[in-house]
Amino acid sequence: MKTRKLIDRIRALFDDDLRSSQKNREALEEVLKQLRSKEKKFEAELQQEPSPERREKLEMKIKLVRSQRKKGIEKLKQAQQSAK
């Protein structure tokens, strides 16, 4: 490992703010994964659903999950930029 990388790791161990922001990023990544799986589940249900009312509800749920994921991705990018 290069010296710079080792110094960054040691600094991360002792810096509480850096550790907490890293934990927040990891938690946000986990939530984004869950939202992605939920979106895929709704899309699969939508493909199988014959009822127009139920299809409309599923489409609304998919739109909601997509917008939440989009906001989460933007927040994650901001957190990664501020960590650098």
Q: Residue ranges per domain, the chain?
A: 3-83
**What percent of the chain lies above the pLDDT cut of 90?**
61
With residues binned 3-state (H G I as helix, E B as strand, rest as coil), the percentages for the chain, rounded to 5, are: 90, 0, 10
Q: Predicted confidence band at 65 (pLDDT cuts at 50, 70, 90)?
A: very high
Q: Predicted confidence band at 81 (pLDDT cuts at 50, 70, 90)?
A: confident
Amino acid at residue number 65? V
Contact 29, 76 (CB under 8 A): yes
pTM of the model: 0.74
Q: Predicted confidence band at 66 (pLDDT cuts at 50, 70, 90)?
A: very high
